[in-house]
Structure 1
Amino acid sequence: MKRGSTLFLKIALILIGLPVLALCIFLVPEIANFAVDLYPDHAYLKYLVFLDLYATAIPFYFALYQAFNLLHYIDKTKAFSELSIKALKKIKFCAITFSGIYVVGMPIFYLIAEADDAPGIILIGMAIILAGLVVAVFAAVLQKLLQEAIDIKSENDLTV
């Protein structure tokens, strides 16, 4: 396959990663400071917000890296290989981890939403959890389909 055929998707992955990086640099400290402003007696909330939001960035960027690797395998005509299955498995694990970290952090966002009287924060958190789970299910389905395609390909290779 030509190298340029996946170039658009590689650029899209980079463009997905840049806004998240900007959010981590500029918005996360503001959210943490906002939590401390709402609950001045609980200064540790700042560190919990940092821990929760920065911890979700790790599996997010690892999943982007694995998607980039998957596109590289497609460029090298190794799309139907165990490497691709492993990359999809890692993406699935990262998506589940991402959602799990947000589930653990939802009580913090509940406290912020309750003090600020903004239930939209909880809805946004639940939408992020759901998005991570959708990515995990999609990666699991692709992993299973790819495994079946590899099995069929190996059967056909043995038959001929």
Structure 2
Amino acid sequence: MKQGTTLFLKISLFIIGAPILAICIFLVPAIGNYVGELTVNFVKYLVYIDLYGAAIPFYFALYQAFKLLSYIDKNQAFSQLSVNALKKIKVCAVTISILYVLGMPIFYVIGEVDDAPGVILLGMVMIFASMVIAVFAAVLQRLLQEAIDIKSENDLTV
């Protein structure tokens, strides 16, 4: 694959990560304070734990995607390193989904108190989007592992 394509994808990873960083810096504290005003004050700390906790595996998954693109640049796409990167991306996506599932009662309380059912829908979208990414990464991981196995089998027969 040409390096221009992977360079574009690497830049895209930074473009994806920048708004999430801005949300973590500016929007999450505002959301936490708003939830603290609507409900009991300690709930805002649960919001911080949930949202910041989901940001950590998100950035780790972005880093693994960056490493995967680097492996593609080095012509190591069909290696165990790529399989491991996909496995870590899958685990990160499942972790994000679990964190949002655990945080759904908070979204429910916010939606009930503020009379905004869209908040609950937003939480559901985050859960399902991360699960789709996890399933996609799992399928790619399995396909890549099978391709590596076939390649090593062919190398042994020649």
- Structure 2 SS opposite 1:83: helix
After superposition, the C-alpha distances for 1:19-53 in whole angstroms (9 at most, x for unaligned) are 000000111011111111112xx110111111110
What is the aligned-residue RMSD (CA, Å)? Answer: 0.8
- Give the match for residue 5 of structure 2: 5
Which 4+ residue blocks in structure 1 deviate beyond 6 angstroms? none
- Structure 2 SS opposite 1:74: helix
**Whole-angstrom CA distance in 1 between matches of 2:78 and 2:138:** 15
**Whole-angstrom CA distance in 1 between matches of 2:19 and 2:152:** 42
Structure 2: runs of 5+ lacking an equivalent? none
- Give the match for residue 146 of structure 1: 144
- Give the match for residue 125 of structure 1: 123
The one-letter code of the counterpart of 2:4 is G
**Whole-angstrom CA distance in 2 between matches of 1:59 and 1:5:** 25
Aligned residue pairs, count: 158
**Whole-angstrom CA distance in 2 between matches of 1:54 and 1:20:** 10
The one-letter code of the counterpart of 1:85 is V
**Whole-angstrom CA distance in 1 between matches of 2:87 and 2:131:** 14
Mapping of residues 83-122 of structure 1, within 5 Å? 83-122=81-120
**Whole-angstrom CA distance in 1 between matches of 2:2 and 2:140:** 22
Using the size of structure 2 for normalisation, the TM-score is 0.98
- Give the match for residue 33 of structure 1: 33
Using the size of structure 1 for normalisation, the TM-score is 0.97
Identity over the aligned pairs, expressed in percent? 70
- Give the match for residue 24 of structure 1: 24
**Whole-angstrom CA distance in 2 between matches of 1:87 and 1:30:** 34
The one-letter code of the counterpart of 1:87 is A
**Whole-angstrom CA distance in 1 between matches of 2:107 and 2:154:** 53
The one-letter code of the counterpart of 2:56 is I
Residue 156 of structure 1 and its aligned partner are, at CA, apart by 1.1
